[in-house]
Amino acid sequence: MTSDMVAVDQDLVELTPAELKELEAVLTGGRIDVVTAEATKSSVIQVKGLSAYFGHKQVLNNLNLDIKEREITALIGPSGCGKTTFLRTLNRMSHSVPGFRHEGEVSVMGQDIASVKDVESFRRKVGMLFQRPNPFPMSILDNLTLALRLFGVSKKERLEIAKAKLDEVGLYEDLKDRLHHSPFALSGGQQQRLCLARALAVEPRILLLDEPASALDPKSTRMLEDLFMRLAEHMTIVIVTHNLAQARRIAKRTAFMEAGEIVEFESTHALFTKPNDPRTRVYVEEQIG
């Protein structure tokens, strides 16, 4: 806790006036004013008229939204509403499903995903974390360094990156003597943090999280959420979650989706306290109970 406080203090020096204002708002218990915060942030993902199909079945219908850089955006909605498909469209994972096609424009870091030629390089900039931890069948260290090795990073550098990323996700102290062991003996929470470190090792600018804590206990979930908040200081995070409390805790803005459409996209606070659309209100009330 104390080390966190120190970190905040040091960061204060480098904050822009707008960020300072934002921080002030948080510290004084006031709500962050999305409009003023937005002024300093540009959209890193722009979606215009996105529709998507699996064969003849339409799964996304005319989505429009802008996702701002360096903040957490949550996608919520009932199962089958298309939020995961949307998330996986952003790094072209949906496109590997036979029969998938999309219409409309999805611009990720200024590049239209339809025109991505080198999918592999593109995906290095857009990391992903899945519903369940998915370590590779190799040692903890190799999990972190495999992709770097394939991309031609030197061995010395790989080791440094691996250690730095393990440290970043708070695993280094626990695992430093077990780097050559199998990751499958770790707890679910540790495995998921290892997978996060693995995704971070290739230095993505955007992180896509597909219900990353749905298989974890509350303590591990909180630990991950703290990590996401810290990461959002320098990267853009989009999270799909069924856990509305989670969206409330960590997301600055939240989109509610239903039946392949975005019903409402608002600041998280507004969406949960005074939803504009009756469908949002019903969903939020039912979920919170």
**CA–centroid distance for 272 within its chain:** 20
Spatial separation of the C-alpha atoms in residues 60 and 138, rounded to whole Å: 37
One residue of 18, 46, 105, 123 binding another protein per CB under 8 A = 123
**Which one, 145 or 236, has the nearer CB to another protein?**
145
Q: For the chain, give the longest Cα–Cα distance.
A: 56
Cα distances from 266 to residues 22, 58, 74, in angstroms, run 17, 25, 10
At its nearest, how many Å lie between another protein and the CB of residue 109? 14
Length of the chain: 289
Cα distances from 270 to residues 54, 139, 252, 255, in angstroms, run 33, 45, 10, 11
**Which one, 46 or 134, has the nearer CB to another protein?**
134
Cα distances from 78 to residues 28, 219, 242, in angstroms, run 35, 25, 8
Binding mask of the shown chain, residues 214 to 253, with x at each position contacting another protein by CB under 8 A: ----------------------------------------
At its nearest, how many Å lie between another protein and the CB of residue 137? 5
**Which one, 224 or 244, has the nearer CB to another protein?**
224
Residues 127-186 binding another protein (CB under 8 A) are 127-128, 130-132, 134-139, 141-142, 145-147, 149-151, 155, 159, 179-180, 182
At its nearest, how many Å lie between another protein and the CB of residue 155? 7
232 token code pair = 């959002």
One residue of 98, 110, 218, 278 binding another protein per CB under 8 A = 98
At its nearest, how many Å lie between another protein and the CB of residue 142? 6
Cα distances from 82 to residues 206, 235, 267, in angstroms, run 20, 24, 21
Q: How many CB atoms lie within 10 A of CB 139?
A: 17
Among 62-70, 79-87, 122-130, 273-281, the segment contacting another protein (CB under 8 A): 122-130
Residues 37-96 binding another protein (CB under 8 A) are 91, 93, 96
36 token code pair = 């003023």
Spatial separation of the C-alpha atoms in residues 97 and 248, rounded to whole Å: 32
The vertex-164 CA angle with 160 and 168, nearest 5°, equals 170
**Which one, 111 or 276, has the nearer CB to another protein?**
111
Residues that bind another protein (CB under 8 A): 91, 93, 96, 98, 119-124, 127-128, 130-132, 134-139, 141-142, 145-147, 149-151, 155, 159, 179-180, 182, 195, 198-199, 202
